[in-house]
């Protein structure tokens, strides 16, 4: 029996070769699209064939300055030639500088650096439990319950998953961690009903991302702040996706004029390198002491140096105003589409964190695929929601290009649907 001949590498496309290797070697956790990206520049990505794609997803909110930003590239080149990693047993120049910037723009007092959003959320949960014990050291059973939101997403580690209010993420790994109660998002009555003196923290996304770009209501957030402040519990806000300029303010909670006890951030913080952070008040941060929490890679010199460059760009004159202006323009154009196309149920969001909810998950899936074929990257979340997280550096012509493509696709989709005749 003759052996099967392997097709020589040069006769295969690069994409086909990569797909075959990944299929054979990787744990299969991703459903990837058949595109192999090789480089990026500004608001565009380029595949192995040189085709350009307008990136209105920015790595799910990570590449907020676009691709190959000259200041980021410069920082990486200079810092990588000096120092990539040291243990957190020693100092380097960049953590303190980054903490100073983050506390200044957030209104909080202290920072802890980790590697990702889920680690930041995990650490925040630990901090809440530690704070409850710190405040009542003689109590045998200190407060320990978390009130978190239905439809939420906080990450994929066990604590984060245990506080994520979407069954599709939780069910395969049950039973999860105890001490978690889910509240109907933006339902003040349900929040008040479920809050009691065993609650150590209320945790929520200021804008739910994976849940379909759902902003918190002012009444709900203020009620959460009042309940926690009056009962020595913490208000923890997940701004991993909506923070650091995405909504047109440094943090989305700043629209409401409230100060949380703990905030978690990550995605755009190091402009594409892994870095997350927990921000906290002095009072809460004092619940952690050396040895209670830590990380091997978090807050390393390269990631922090790049994050300082990102913060410098974010806080430069005009950046937040540009995000707010382009976000308002983009939202208005989406509203125009909603008037034209009945398949659009709702448009919503803040700044450059926007969504168009369609009436059908199948239509949303086909629209996203058609957009990719046209060279525009968006994604779909909560089944039927088109999510837009473009880089902060987009211009009006980029928004117009996306709107024109969406308009054409929705027209074609409507024309292709069979007309239902009355019997």
Helix H or strand E encompassing 319: helix 319-340
Residue 54 and residue 43: Cα distance in Å, rounded? 6
Q: What is the pLDDT of residue 415?
A: 81
| Residues 51-72, mean pLDDT to the nearest whole number | 98
Residue 276 and residue 268: Cα distance in Å, rounded? 9
| pTM of the predicted structure, to 2 decimals | 0.95
Q: What is the pLDDT of residue 178?
A: 96
Residue 405 and residue 370: Cα distance in Å, rounded? 9
197-256, pLDDT tens digit by residue? Answer: 999 999 999 999 999 999 999 999 999 999 999 999 999 999 999 999 999 999 999 999
Closest CA to 182 of 207, 197, 161: 161
Ranges of each domain in the chain = 9-69+318-416, 83-314
Close Cβ partners of 27 (under 8 Å, ≥ 6 residues apart): none
pLDDT of 363 strictly over 90: yes
Close Cβ partners of 383 (under 8 Å, ≥ 6 residues apart): 361, 364
Residue 304 and residue 102: Cα distance in Å, rounded? 12
Half-sphere exposure of 50 (CA within 13 A, CB side): 0
Instruction: Name which CATH class applies to 9-69+318-416.
Output: alpha beta
Closest CA to 107 of 245, 205, 253: 253
Domain 83-314 architecture: 3-Layer(aba) Sandwich (3.40)
304-335, pLDDT tens digit by residue? Answer: 999 999 999 999 999 999 999 999 999 999 99
Q: How many residues would you count in the chain?
A: 423
Distance of CA 229 to CAs 39, 124, 225, Å? Answer: 48, 17, 6
Number of Cβ atoms within 10 Å of the Cβ of 248: 23
Equal CATH topology for 9-69+318-416 and 83-314: no
Average pLDDT over the chain, rounded to whole? 95
């Amino acid at each position: 029996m003759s052996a099967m001949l392997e097709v020589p590498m040069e006769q295969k496309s690069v994409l086909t070769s990569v797909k075959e290797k990944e299929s054979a070697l990787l744990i299969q956790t991703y459903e990837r699209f058949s595109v192999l990206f090789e480089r990026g520049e500004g608001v565009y990505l380029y595949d192995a064939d040189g085709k350009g794609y307008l990136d209105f997803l920015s790595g799910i909110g990570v590449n907020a300055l676009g691709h190959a930003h000259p200041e980021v590239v410069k920082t990486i080149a200079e810092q990588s030639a000096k120092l990539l990693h040291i243990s957190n047993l020693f100092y380097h120049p960049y953590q303190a500088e980054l903490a100073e910037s983050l506390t200044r723009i957030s209104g909080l007092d202290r920072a802890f650096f980790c590697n990702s959003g889920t680690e930041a959320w995990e650490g925040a949960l630990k901090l809440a439990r530690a704070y409850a014990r710190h405040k009542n050291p003689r109590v045998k059973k200190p407060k320990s319950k978390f009130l978190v939101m239905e439809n939420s997403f906080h990450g994929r580690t066990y604590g984060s998953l245990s506080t994520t209010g979407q069954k599709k993420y939780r069910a395969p790994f049950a039973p999860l961690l105890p001490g978690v109660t889910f509240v109907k998002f933006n339902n003040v009555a349900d929040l008040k009903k479920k809050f009691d003196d065993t609650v150590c923290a209320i945790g929520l996304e200021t804008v739910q991302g994976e849940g379909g770009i759902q902003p918190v209501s002012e009444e709900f957030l203020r009620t959460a702040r009042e309940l926690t402040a009056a009962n020595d519990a913490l208000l923890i806000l997940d701004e991993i996706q909506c923070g650091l300029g995405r909504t047109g303010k440094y943090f989305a909670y700043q629209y409401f004029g409230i100060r949380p006890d703990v905030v978690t951030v990550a995605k755009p913080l190091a402009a594409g390198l892994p870095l997350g952070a927990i921000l906290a008040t002095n009072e809460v941060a004092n619940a952690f002491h050396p040895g209670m929490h830590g990380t091997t890679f978090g807050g390393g010199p390269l990631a922090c140096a790049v994050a300082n460059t990102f913060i410098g760009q974010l806080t430069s004159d005009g950046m937040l105003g540009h995000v707010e202006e382009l976000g308002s323009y983009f939202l208005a154009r989406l509203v125009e589409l909603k008037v034209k196309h009945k398949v659009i149920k709702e448009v919503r969001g803040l700044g450059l964190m926007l969504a168009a909810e369609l009436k059908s998950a199948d239509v949303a899936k086909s629209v996203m695929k058609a957009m990719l074929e046209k060279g525009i990257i968006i994604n779909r979340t909560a089944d039927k929601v088109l999510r837009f997280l473009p880089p902060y550096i987009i211009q009006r012509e980029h928004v117009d290009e996306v709107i024109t493509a969406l308009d054409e696709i929705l027209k074609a989709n409507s024309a292709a649907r069979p007309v239902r005749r009355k019997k």
